[in-house]
Structures are given as structure tokens and as C-alpha cells.
Amino acid sequence: MATLAPRQGVDWSVVVRSHWLLVVGALSLLVPTVYSMARGPWSVESGVHGPIVLATGLWLIYGRIDEIREHMRPGAGWLTGLGIVVAICLYGFGRAFDFISIEVAGMLLALLSVAHAYLGLEVLKRLWFPIFYLGFIIPLPNWFLDVVTQPLKLFVSEIVTGALSSFGYPMGRQGVTIFVSTYQLLVEDACAGLNSLVSLSAIGLFYVYMLRGSNWRYSLLLLALVLPVAIGANIVRVAALVLITYYMGNAAAQGYLHNFAGMVTFVSALLLIFLVDKILTPVRNALARMETRQEGRTA
């Protein structure tokens, strides 16, 4: 009976000695940017998923180290050079003018360009999911948040007001401000669903990849379904806070119950994504068969 050769680990001391200049360059980009992220986006609700995505993304890449060694070939020099030039421009601009989103994008592009130089395009294609997944550490710029969350807040407040009014509650609305009895509640950015949308997308895709494989068609399908799930969950969250305010007062709604409602909403939305994945099992199997047939034709 044949036995499998034990998996070889990575001797990091050899890596550092052989490529010390590369290690120093990578750390000069990583350390200040990660520090800025820790003090900024990762310290607020919209970016709490960042450290988790970074750690799990690197873990996914390390888990395929044998496959990387098998297929690694030096990449095209012109493509590597172009990527590094663009990355340095983005990183320098973002760092100089405090645009953290551009800075992080430049850092990732620089690391990706160096990986292309050493590993080649074939390896990067095989690592498409971890690379795409690591893109979730790029914080959304404030202008994008302002543009997207405003219509979402209007939509959530309109749905909640209309639904509770149909049950006889004394409701009113002006923009994103909801009036119930003698109280008024402002629908904040967190209640629009965009914060949980990014986190749910990242966790949902990680779940699909670990349990179902890297079928890109199914990953895109589940990613598209995360949006209505996140918005629906936050509609329930806002409605619950309105009812708490109506029956228990504003102090109760803005106290620990507010944070508790946010946590329950996120967990419920995550469980709903798992349920959607279970319901879509026939679709996932059909897409897997389609991908297998396509690979058979190209083989």
C-alpha cells in the first residue's frame, strides 16, 4: 500500500535570508498600513471583519503551499513592473493624502505583483478565491458610504413606517427620521444594512469556499443574495427598536438593547445565508456539473 509523503513545512528562516530585501520592502508597506487600519476602519462597526478576513485569507493561501510549489513559475517581467509602478503610485497617493482605501488597494496590488514575479500567473489564477477574499479588507471610502447608505436608510425607514402603521401603531416619517408616539428615531448608517452587508459577504463566501469549493458562479450567486438578506435583517432590527421605544421608552432602545439587537440581527442574517445555501443545493450541484463538463472539454 502506497503512503503519502509528509507535507513539507516552510522554513521561514531560509525565506528571510534568501529574500531579505523583499521581506523588508513588504514589511515597510504592511506595518504602517495595518497600524492605520487598526486605529481607523478596524475600530468601528463597518470594519470589524477586517482582521478576521486578513488572518483567514492568509491561512487559505498557506493551506495550498504544496500546490503553489508545484505550479510556480516566474511571471512576465513587464506585467510585474507595471503592477508595481501602479501600486506604488496608489500607495503613495493614499498615504500622503490619508485615503486609506487607496492605500490598502495599493498595498495589496504591490504584494500581488511581487507574488506574480515569483510564482507566476498560473498560481495566481489558482488562488483567485483567497485573492478576491482578501479584497474585503479594503475599507469602503466615506463618499461611497454616503452615496449608498442614504437611499438604503430611506428605504428601510419607509418599509418600517408603512409596516407598523398597517398594524395600527402611531407612525410618521420625515426623511430618515421615524416618529412613533411622542418619540423620534433617526435611522443611522449602521441600520441601513451596509455594514453587515460587507461582513456577511465575506463570511458567507468563506463558508461557501470551505464547505462547497471554489465554484465562482455559485459564489457570485450567493454574494448577490447577501444584499436582500442584510437589508431584510436590518429592517427587522429597526422595527424591533421602534417597538422597544414605543413600549419601553427611548432609554431602553438606546441602551444595551440597541447593541444586543445589532448582534442578534447579524447572527440571524448569517443563519439565513446558511439556510439559503441549503435550499440552493440543486443549483450548486448543477453549476458544479457544468464546471466539470467545461474542464473535460478543455482537457
Question: Containing H/E element for 180?
Answer: strand 177-180
| Nearest one of 269, 266, 187 to 228, comparing CA atoms | 269
Is residue 180 within 8 A of residue 242, CB to CB? The reply is yes
Question: Containing H/E element for 107?
Answer: helix 100-119
pLDDT of residue 226: 81
Long-range contacts of 41-46 (CB under 8 A, 24+ apart): 41/100, 41/139, 45/190, 45/195, 45/262, 46/139, 46/140, 46/145, 46/189, 46/190, 46/194, 46/195, 46/198
168 backbone dihedrals φ, ψ, rounded to 5°: 95, 5
Could you confirm whether 95 is annotated as catalytic? no
Cell of 28: 515597510
Whole-model pTM: value is 0.78
| Nearest one of 13, 128, 17 to 64, comparing CA atoms | 128
Catalytic-role residue among 95, 191, 212, 284: 191
Rounded distance between C-alpha atoms, residue 213 and residue 216, angstroms:
9
Could you confirm whether 237 is annotated as catalytic? yes
pLDDT of residue 3: 44
Rounded distance between C-alpha atoms, residue 271 and residue 8, angstroms:
37
SS3 of 73, please? coil
Is residue 199 within 8 A of residue 273, CB to CB? The reply is no
CA distances from 299 to 126, 210, 292 (A): 16, 26, 10
pLDDT of residue 209: 82
Rounded distance between C-alpha atoms, residue 67 and residue 70, angstroms:
5
**Crossing angle between the packed helical segments 77-96 and 100-119, to the nearest 10 degrees:** 160
Flag residues of the chain having pLDDT under 70: 1-19, 189-195, 212-214, 295-299
Catalytic-role residue among 95, 173, 212, 237: 237
Q: Return the domain boundaries, the chain.
A: 12-137, 142-298
